[in-house]
Amino acid sequence: MKENNIQTNPPNWAIPGYLEIHHNHLHINGVDAIKLAQEYDTPLFIVSAPRIRDNISGLLEAKKYHPRIKLCYASKANNNLGVLRVVKDAGIDVEVNSGGELFKALRAGFRPDQIEMNGISKTEQEITEAVQAGIYTINLDSPFELELVEKVAAKLKKRANVTVRLVAGVGTRSHAALQTALYTSKFGVSPEQAREMMLRALKSPDLINLAGLHIHVGSQTPDPEPYVQAFIAMWEHLLWLHQETGHKLQHINIGGGIPVNYLRDQTHASEISENEREMLGAKLTAAEMIESTIDAVRTAARQANAEHLLEELEIVMEPGRAVIADAVTILTSIRNVKHRPETGEDWVLTDAGYNLMLSMVMYQWYYHAIDATRAGESHDSRYRMAGPLCDGGDVYFDLHGDGHLPDCRLLPENIQVGDVIAMLNTGAYTMSQMTAYNGRPFPMAVLVEDDGSIEVIRKRDSYEDLLLNE
């Protein structure tokens, strides 16, 4: 397969028309990544608008199984204004998790009826902003929050749309911290409380429109079963409410969590534990998930003679990762290399660490790394790879030996200081969670279009920006 160290077959991470190798360099939508690094410096986020649109079209295939699907992009995954604009122009709606995200969604041009709001501890001010704007719905996290919305609606003399966020004891095969519908999780309300809240909400029809029920089972959910369980739990509540009161809920929100295959390139897969491999390499699509849930609920609806309730129901989905993760590449330069004679190991030190990829330390999340400067060469030499932060945990390998990350990274044998490393699939929970730790100004982000045009969607911060508000 090898000739002068050049690979003859495209590597598994390549995606025709999107991630390709030309002249030994990584190209993103036809644009030479090394030229971008030279022009804009590193670290650099490269966002692919065509890939965002492709991902959204893929998610919309779920409409084959239920035409009334409302996709609300979970903006927490990446709330950059340029990203929001591409999502909006692709014709879908948005989920926000705070007053700040609501502000950004409105600024990006989403209409209020396209916006739904989550949040575990919303302030009265945030609720006021949401009710004032007249958004699609506010997902309630507690009976207290219902009272707060009633109070705000009364003050504003404006009816608020609300949805009750349920936890129904549903587990997934994702990380513990990425499971959000267990009774031990901090989110939502239990079934009994949900029923009480729904009845209570119906007592104030002038102030409250009880619009739906919501469960988010978690992020990076590899199997359809948790979604089926969650949907059935919501369906039972919907049916109970209809039978008790005649009230028809307008929507059921099945949350986010459609996974991204972070292990499309299997180079390091065998070094990762089986559980982790199945989670990180998950291939569940939105269409498969909706197909399974609709099948199960249709049976339940038929038994209850309530098929019309299902047909009229809007199913809301809140995908974050599945829209943005593989649409972004972080370019980071090798700033230092060294050899440790005692261990015989070679080290490469980059200019991007967990300040930009927080999940790498929070969840030991795997992002595939390639040498974009020598993308066509065999990646078969082992390196200890680490970021620039003054913290021994700022590494791209497994410090704990528990099979979350590989021990080393495979890169070409002749890597050099100045080579540009591309971290693939780094669009979700990266830009939106970055920190200026160690006085490292936030990097620049550029948006690449189909025709190769480039737009700066985030300027690089300066040292002066580090002083902003201090």
Q: Structure tokens of 427?
A: 């669009």
Stretch that binds ligand PLP, among 7-15, 51-59, 190-198, 249-257 (CB under 6 A): 249-257
Specify the 3-state DSSP secondary structure of 392: coil
- Find out whether the peptide bond into 10 is cis, omega within 30 degrees of 0: no
Whether the CB-CB separation of 374 and 22 falls below 8 Å is answered with no
Show contacts with ligand PLP in window 45-74 (CB under 6 A).
74
- 102 vs 100: CA distance, rounded Å: 5
Query: Could you tell me which stretch among 193-201, 215-223, 261-269, 296-304 binds ligand PLP (CB under 6 A)?
Result: 215-223
d(C-alpha 84, C-alpha 347), whole Å = 38
Closest contact distance (angstroms) between CB of 258 and ligand PLP is: 6
| Residue of 50, 255, 281, 353 interacting with ligand PLP (CB under 6 A) | 255
Closest contact distance (angstroms) between CB of 192 and ligand PLP is 21
Stretch that binds ligand PLP, among 52-60, 102-110, 313-321, 448-456 (CB under 6 A): 313-321
Closer of 315 and 389 to ligand PLP (Cβ) = 315
In angstroms, rounded to a whole number, what is the distance separating the alpha carbons of residues 207 and 365? 44
Using rule CB under 6 A, residue 281 touches ligand PLP: no
Check residue 319 for interaction with ligand PLP (CB under 6 A): yes
- Whole-angstrom Cα distance, residue 235 to residue 194? 13
User: Which of the ranges 256-264, 326-334, 415-423, 444-452 carries the binding residues for ligand PLP, by CB under 6 A?
Assistant: 256-264
What phi and psi values does residue 213 have, to the nearest 5 degrees? -125, 150
Instruction: Return the amino acid letter for 88.
Output: K
Spatial contact of 51 and 427, defined as CB atoms under 8 Å apart: no
Write the burial class of residue 453 (CB in 10 Å: 0-12 exposed, 13-18 middle, 19+ buried).
exposed
Residue 249 Cβ vs ligand PLP, minimum distance, rounded to whole Å: 18
Q: Which is nearer to ligand PLP, 42 or 174 (CB)?
A: 174
Where would I find the H helices in 158-264?
191-202, 225-245
Please report whether residue 216 would count as binding ligand PLP according to CB under 6 A: yes
Candidates 82, 188, 224, 257; binder of ligand PLP (CB under 6 A) is: 257
Instruction: By CB under 6 A, name the one of 321, 374, 404, 409 that touches ligand PLP.
Output: 321
- Classify residue 429 as left (phi > 0), alpha (psi -120 to 50) or beta: left
Per rule CB under 6 A, count of chain residues that contact ligand PLP: 19
Q: Does 219 bind ligand PLP (CB under 6 A)?
A: yes
**Nearest 10 degrees: CA dihedral of 299, 303, 309, 311?**
40
Instruction: Please state the closest distance from residue 315 (CB atom) to ligand PLP, in A.
Output: 14
**Closest approach of ligand PLP to the CB of residue 271, in Å:** 24
Q: How big is the chain by its Cα radius of gyration, in Å? A: 23
Which amino acid, one-letter code, is at 295? D
Q: How many Cβ atoms are within 10 Å of 362's Cβ, its own excluded? A: 14
In the chain the first and final C-alpha atoms are separated, in Å, by: 57
Residue 20 token pair = 């390709």
Closest CB to ligand PLP among residues 97, 350: 97
Beta-strand pair 25-28/19-22: antiparallel
Of 145 and 371, which CB lies nearer to ligand PLP in the complex structure?
145
Query: What is the per-residue binding string for ligand PLP in 107-136, x denoting contact by CB under 6 A?
Result: -----------x------------------
> 445 with 431: CB under 8 angstroms?
yes
Annotated catalytic, 72?
A: no
Torsions phi, psi of 438, nearest 5? 65, 20
Which residues 178-197 are close enough to bind ligand PLP by CB under 6 A? 180
Q: Which of residues 161-180 bind ligand PLP (CB under 6 A)?
A: 180
Could you tell me which stretch among 229-237, 272-280, 317-325, 384-392 binds ligand PLP (CB under 6 A)?
317-325
Check 390, 401, 467, 468 and give the catalytic one.
390
Q: How far is the CB of 370 from ligand PLP (least distance, A)?
A: 24
Q: For ligand PLP, which residue of 43, 212, 222, 320 counts as binding (CB under 6 A)?
A: 320
Shortest approach of ligand PLP to residue 318 CB, angstroms?
4
Q: Where are the alpha helices (DSSP H) in 43-190?
A: 49-60, 81-89, 99-108, 124-133, 143-156
How is residue 69 annotated by DSSP? E
Nearer to ligand PLP, 52 or 322 (CB): 322
Nearest approach, Cβ of 37 to ligand PLP (angstroms)? 28
Q: Give yes or no for residue 222 binding ligand PLP (CB under 6 A).
A: no
Which range of residues in 109-117, 243-251, 316-324, 449-457 is near ligand PLP by CB under 6 A?
Answer: 316-324
Identify the burial level of 39 via C-beta atoms within 10 angstroms of its C-beta, where 0-12 means exposed, 13-18 middle and 19 or more buried: exposed
Residue 458's nearest CA partner among 19, 98, 47, 30 is 47
Site for ligand PLP in 76-105 (CB under 6 A): 76-77, 95
Which part of the chain contacts ligand PLP (CB under 6 A), choosing from 121-129, 201-209, 319-327, 454-462? 319-327
Helices 49-60, 286-303: crossing angle, 10 deg rounding: 20
Return the active site residues: 390
Give the footprint of ligand PLP on this chain (CB under 6 A).
74, 76-77, 95, 118, 180, 216, 219-220, 255-258, 318-322, 428
